[in-house]
Structure 1
Amino acid sequence: MNKSMVVGVVLGAVVVTAGGAVATYNMMGDKGPQFARVTDVTPIKETIRTPRQVCKDVAITHQKPVQDQHQVAGTALGAVVGGLIGNQVGGGSGKKIATVAGAVGGGYAGNKVQERMQANDTYTTTETRCNTVTDTREKVVGYTVKYELEGRVGQVRMDRDPGQQIPVRDGQLVLAEQQ
């Protein structure tokens, strides 16, 4: 072997040994704790409210328009029928009284019958009725994390649950996840 090759091998060995020593010192050197102990994690929640429309079809009963508001037709028809029936009863002046009484009673009855028939004269339609309801839900937006590091208690807000410990680098919490 020539002299320059021996010098090169010795220098290479020295550099490798020195690099290993520095790396070992950095790994073994006292950098403090590597983790902070988590003592409590509390979720921070936000309430989300979302309005929405709810519609349903409803059957609506309507009164048909009344043609004869005073029930004149029913009164007149009832009076005629009542008068005819009253005329069949009795004789002489009693017959006249019976005819008048039959007409009055028949007129009243005809009026009430027509009134009841008009009240029951209805039709049904379907209408859509809508109203607004609000759906609510809770969303976790972060976490309040209490921790202990070198005998000190601290608190920090994080975007995730860190579990049992938080990494520490150079005495500082590492809060962001490393990629």
Structure 2
Amino acid sequence: MKLLPVIFTLSAMVTAPAIAYNQPIEYARVTKVEPIYRTIATHRPQQVCHTETVQYRGHTSQDKTPVVLGAIVGGALGHAIGHNKSNKRVGMAAGAILGGAVVNDVQRQNRQSHVVHQQHCRPTNSSVEYRNVLEGYEVSYKLRGRHYQTVLDYDPGPRLPVQVRARRGY
């Protein structure tokens, strides 16, 4: 007995599409087709940028090699100029100090400035771009003297196929 509901369900599944397939199709006259649009907003972030001019002067490194070399050369000249032993020592010390100081001054004067252009950006309000997207069509049609409306995902053209179902009388 438990097999009877299973057989009934299977036979209903097989015969229902056949009944629906046998229902007649009529063509209704399309009276109006209106596209349905949906507006989509797209936010685009923006940023405002400006260029700033920055001036830098001189070297950032503190290289002491030229000063030391200037002191050595100045010391050698002071030593060569001196006449006796004590004069040579004093001349060498004075020449070393003077040579180092002269090279340091020349280095300070030769430091040139250079200009750098730096770009700075900051975010601002975003712009909004709107576009319309087609969602479907609102279709009005006339069938057997009566007016109907439906929404379709395509434009049916001048005729719309309609599957007519027979209704039992009361």
When normalised by structure 2's length, the TM-score is: 0.42
> Taking CA–CA contacts closer than 8 Å with sequence separation of 6 or more, which of the two structures ends up with the larger relative contact order?
2
Compute the TM-score of the two structures, normalised by the length of structure 1: 0.40
Greater strand share, structure number:
2
